[in-house]
Amino acid sequence: MANSISSTGTDSFVGTARSRVDGPAKVTGLAKYAGEFTAADLAHGYVVSGGIAKGRITAIDTAAAEAVPGVVKVFTHENRPRTAWLDYNYQDAVAPPGSPFRALYDDKILYSGQPVALVVAEDFDTARYAASLIKVAYEVEEPLTDVERQREFGYVPPMKRAGIKPPPEPWGDAEGAFASAPVQLRNDYTLAVEHHNPMEPHASTVVWEGDGRITVYDKIQGVSNSQGYIAGVFGMDKDKVRVLNPYLGGGFGLGLRPQYQLFLAVMAARELERSVRVVLTRDQMFTMSYRPDVRQTISLGSDEEGKLLSLRHEALSGTSRFEDYQEVVVNWSAILYGGCENVALDYRLTQIDTFTPSDMRAPGAVTGVFALEIAMDELAYATKQDPIALRLKNYTDRDPTEGKPFGSKSLRACYEQGAELFGWSERNPEPRSMRDGKELVGWGMATGVWEALMQKSSAQATLTADGKLVVGNSTGDIGTGTYTILTQIAADALGLPMEDVTTKLGDTDLAEAPVAGGSWTAASSGTAVMKACRKIAADVFAMARAMDDSPLANVDLERVVFTGGRIEVAGDPSRSVSLVEAMAAAGVDKVEATESAGPDAGHAKEFASYTHSAIFAEVKIDEELGQVRLTRIVSAIAAGKIINPKTARSQILGGVVMGIGSALEEESMLDHAVGRFMNHNLGEYHVPVNADIHDIDVIFVEEEDKANPMGVKGLGEIGIVGTAAAIANAVYHATGKRIRDLPITIDKIIG
């Protein structure tokens, strides 16, 4: 089998469905999250959020709060301690270009909900009560938060964000080809602003160690990012700052950048020289980043048969006044259909008075592909053909944005297998043609695509004399199953049972690794763990061969296999040494290795790497009353090797459910007059509940890829991409009503 981890050539664990190794800890409450760690003499901080979107603080009265027994200190911009001066010091590992937000920095208000004070008290309730007594007076300026009204100020970002490919230069003559195309479609698309809303609110617990060191439990998708931020902002040596986050209750990208509660907790702990915890409220989770407001226009020109002659995709994205947040929105059109000879892609920003948007699960792709894949459905109808046939007609085996073939692309198989399982061939393409009782039935499909990435990452492994292995690095398991898959990989690499392997993550004392994001963790940390384990294998093998009368004498490493805790001569199990025996004979109590892995530059030079999917959706709609029920989804995924089909399926299910929310429910509603998101709680910001979710089937199609040694492509984002378009297309098929503005709520169905 290709890409096996085990030296036996057949993996015992990798590729098999395994329950989460961290599952028991999570369901029994043993797993602790950032806001649950405690310390002796812990003080509690409560954030006071500002009420205006633009202007300045003219007065802030903290006297009543300070007079409350139990209040330790109230921090505002007037008494905050000095921190670093330069923007550079505030720029975390994934920051976009610009001046990162600084909490309590001065009297200026940059967005609604901005923290204006931190009340620190002996207990949470006192801090919260005292916070309610703080009076802030403002000089209010009119905020501008409507992206459409800021269109005229759109600009191409002068500084590019690291890791975000700007649109390629146009090729051909997209405008001219569109004008002369027999079939012309040009439409605008919008996706509502969404907030990440992980179940776990953001929290930081800073433990004051008393010797110049702090230990920080921070809600973050990669502890090294928080550590670097703290070191930069507070001028601390990294070795005095240990950051841990063993578990994350959902991040979805909001946990990539250190958020303001971390700054506030560290600031207060340093100033008070005691341990401090700051936990945000659910409402305050709406005072940070969000999926940006992007206005898109797609122009498709084709021949009568639907072969694309012109493809234009333009996007205008809102960003803050202080950072140029960028994501890949328009490139996907060319990556999927760039065989077309006339392509023009345009991506601009415009500034509004909100916080900086951020990565949110499949950032840019959720936005761009939703618009593109609705447009393709419209083209299928305009050219009277099956939507899959239209996509195959415009299928490309090369990524024209990079001028390279795909290392692997099994999207055809996704279409075929997804359609087969869904029963697509039974579809009557005529809108409003299918019914079930009072309800109209709609079937729609769409394509999904996401980058297959790898980041430089290291990992460590320690085999102890009792035959137990510990592996790990500093990246986070953000609920994806990283603990589990790294355990599988390590167990197979050294031929150990999974029970003998422990994976540790989320601690800056462990080998350095990047934030968990971009769907790169399986490839990056997985390869590093595999290499560290292989190094241990080689070291222990050397010990085994050096034993007196070793059964492995004169045998090379290539000729042995590691299995069942032993090293055996391949094909001759009678000649073997256990790992424990070898270490005992060598007189060592442990064998350690730290290895790093990074992307294969040679492969990347030759090939483009992406994951793909085909999504099929069924909706049932009571047209008179506008109620949409999503009854069925089939998501067929091509993502290279699947390490654990069980956690992998869960990843896709989560992505699909989030896509359903995007299609039908999620919407952060801005009141432009006051520049504030108003439905800032989970009662009024709707995400899917059980009643909204019915059958979801996930297919992983076979795909062999060579971008990394394991052939892994990553699964964190691909499940969401395209899902909303498939649902919107199903709504069209059911009703004949083309809705290009998500979410598709009752008012749009009956409107």
Partner 1 sequence: MNRFDYVRPTTVEEAVRAIGSAANARFIAGGTNLVDLMKYNVERPERLVDITRLPLEAIEERDGGLGIGALVTNATVAYDDRIKSRYPLLSSAILAGASGQLRNAATTGGNLLQRTRCYYFYDDAMPCNKRDPGTGCQAIGGVNRIHAIFGTSDTCIATHPSDMCVALSALNATVRVTGPAGERIIPLGEFHRLPGDEPQRDTTLAADEIVLSVDLPDEDFGAHHTYLKLRDRLSYAFALVSVAAVMKRDGDTITEARFALGGVAHKPWRNAEAESSLKGKPATRETFEAAADIVIRQAQPQSENGFKVELARRAIIRGLSQAAAGTPQSQSDKRIA
Q: Which long-range contacts (CB under 8 A, 24 or more apart) does 380-387 make?
A: 380/306, 381/429, 381/431, 381/732, 382/183, 382/185, 382/302, 382/306, 383/183, 383/302, 383/304, 383/305, 383/306, 385/305, 385/306, 386/429, 387/444, 387/445, 387/729
Looking at beta carbons only, is 436 or 499 nearer to partner 1?
Answer: 436
Q: Look at phi and psi of residue 554 and say left if phi exceeds 0, alpha if psi is from -120 to 50, else beta.
A: left
With contacts defined by CB under 8 A, name the span among 203-211, 219-227, 420-428, 622-630 that binds partner 1: 622-630
Beta bridge partners of 308: 302
Beta-ladder partners of 217: 205, 244
Q: Which of 92, 377, 439, 705 binds partner 1 (CB under 8 A)?
A: 439
CA distances from 427 to 237, 373, 384, 435 (A): 63, 19, 14, 12
Q: Given the residues 568, 581, 703, 717, select the one marked as catalytic.
A: 717
Which candidate, 563, 10, 702, 641, places its Cα nearest to that of 1?
Answer: 10
The encoded tokens of residue 159 equal 């500084």
Task: Take residue 380 and report the two structure tokens written for it.
Answer: 């299928």
Name the E strands within 493-640.
501-505, 560-563, 566-569, 572-578, 590-597, 610-622, 627-638
| Closer residue to partner 1 in complex, CB, 502/631 | 631
Contacting residue, 7, 12, 49, 460, with partner 1 by CB under 8 A:
49
Would residue 426 show up in a list of annotated catalytic residues for this protein?
no
What is the rounded distance in angstroms from the CA atom of residue 1 to the CA atom of residue 533? 20
Binding part of the chain for partner 1, among 44-52, 57-65, 155-163, 195-203 by CB under 8 A, reads: 44-52
Between CA 571 and CA 293 the distance in angstroms is 61
The answer to the question of residue 140 lying near partner 1 (CB under 8 A) is no
DSSP 233-282: HHT--GGGEEEE-S--S--TTTTTS--HHHHHHHHHHHHHTS-EEEE--T
Note whether 670 binds partner 1 by CB under 8 A: yes
Cβ distance 108 to 102 under 8 Å?
A: no
Q: Give the interface segment with partner 1, choosing from 176-184, 601-609, 679-687, 726-734 (CB under 8 A).
A: 679-687
Based on the shown chain and the rule CB under 8 A, indicate whether residue 622 belongs to the binding site for partner 1: yes
* Residue 680 near partner 1 by CB under 8 A: yes
CA-nearest of 75, 97, 79 to 88 is 97
- The interface with partner 1 within residues 109-128 (CB under 8 A) comprises 112, 125, 128
Task: Please identify which residue in 66, 78, 346, 671 interacts with partner 1, judged by CB under 8 A.
Answer: 671
- Binding to partner 1 by residue 747, rule CB under 8 A? yes
CB-wise, 19 or 627, nearer to partner 1?
627
| Residue 499 burial class via C-beta count within 10 angstroms: exposed 0-12, middle 13-18, buried 19 and up | exposed
Do the Cβ atoms of 55 and 138 come closer than 8 Å?
yes
Per CB under 8 A, the list member of 18, 277, 391, 620 interacting with partner 1 is 620
| Interacting span for partner 1 (CB under 8 A) from 181-189, 620-628, 642-650, 717-725 | 620-628
674 binds partner 1 (CB under 8 A): yes
Within 625-664, the residues that bind partner 1 by CB under 8 A are 625-627, 629, 664
Examine residue 9 and tell whether it contacts partner 1 (CB under 8 A). Answer: no
Report, in Å, the least distance between residue 382 CB and partner 1.
29
Q: Is 557 exposed, middle or buried (0-12, 13-18, 19+ CB in 10 A)?
A: middle
Q: How far is the CB of 604 from partner 1 (least distance, A)?
A: 43
**Judged by CB under 8 A, does residue 675 bind partner 1?**
no
Nearest-approach distance from CB 629 to partner 1, in angstroms: 6
Among 149, 384, 438, 456, which residue sits at the site for partner 1 (rule: CB under 8 A)? 438
209-217, 495-503, 596-604, 740-748 -> range binding partner 1 (CB under 8 A): 740-748
- Classified as helix, coil or strand, 570 is coil
- Part of the chain binding partner 1 (CB under 8 A), chosen from 316-324, 501-509, 595-603, 617-625: 617-625
Tell whether residue 180 is a contact of partner 1 (CB under 8 A): no
By CB under 8 A, residue 695 contacts partner 1: no
Give the one residue of 679, 697, 709, 736 binding partner 1; rule: CB under 8 A. Answer: 679
Give the nearer residue to partner 1 in terms of CB position, either 135 or 384.
Answer: 135
Q: Which positions are catalytic? A: 717
Q: What is the binding site for partner 1 (CB under 8 A)?
A: 49-52, 112, 125, 128-129, 132, 283, 437-439, 620, 622, 624-627, 629, 664-665, 669-671, 673-674, 676, 678-681, 683-684, 686, 688-692, 745-747, 750-751
